[in-house]
Amino acid sequence: MMVLNNLNNKRIILGSNSPRRHFLLKGLDLKFDVIVPDIDEVFPENLKADEICKYLSIKKSEALEKHLDKNTIIITADTIVWLNNKLINKPINFDDAFKMLQQLSNNIHEVYTGVTIKSINKTITFTAKSKVHFNKLDNNEINYYLKKYQPFDKAGSYGIQEWIGYIGIKKIEGSFYNVMGLPVSKLYNKLKHF
């Protein structure tokens, strides 16, 4: 039995391949299946910041609609890093990741996550924003982190829950878990009233 009584008889599908999102959703004591949506993460060029992750989370949920029935709820999410009014994506290689971390060093960036919750007759989408203040990182620290942790599947080339988060993050305004990839407190409240 879960605290979210309204979900007791529901099948929950998490539409994400991210181990961090699996871990965070498990932390809410929810049972769920994982089905990864097969989409290209392309979005209209005119979108900015939270509009991008909102658009992509909706796109992911629409790709999973065929799995919906009256007892199913789909949760999808997309997280982006936004620096100096520009999207910082996942790195394409080591050098790209190195440059990204040099840009984030001694700087402030935003992390946005868009989340879509979908049932057969209702869809809600919301976003969460966190501001991350990075310490100055030297090249040795960046090199060590990239070689040891290989964060090449992560937006902005870092995982806040890893070594770099311990040594490199001065402060966060907003949800730590949002930076990890899922604003779980906000998600819990939305599911409570879904």
Catalytic residues: 78
User: Residue 171 has which token pair?
Assistant: 């402060």
Please give the Cα distance from 190 to 173 (Å, whole number).
21
Distances 162 to 85, 151, 158 between C-alpha atoms, Å: 26, 9, 8
Report which residue type is found at 108. Answer: I
- Cβ atoms within 10 Å of 93's Cβ, excluding its own: 8
- Cβ atoms within 10 Å of 104's Cβ, excluding its own: 23
User: Residue 57 has which token pair?
Assistant: 């989370």
Write out the DSSP string of 104-131. Answer: HTTSEEEEEEEEEEE-SS-EEEEEEEEE
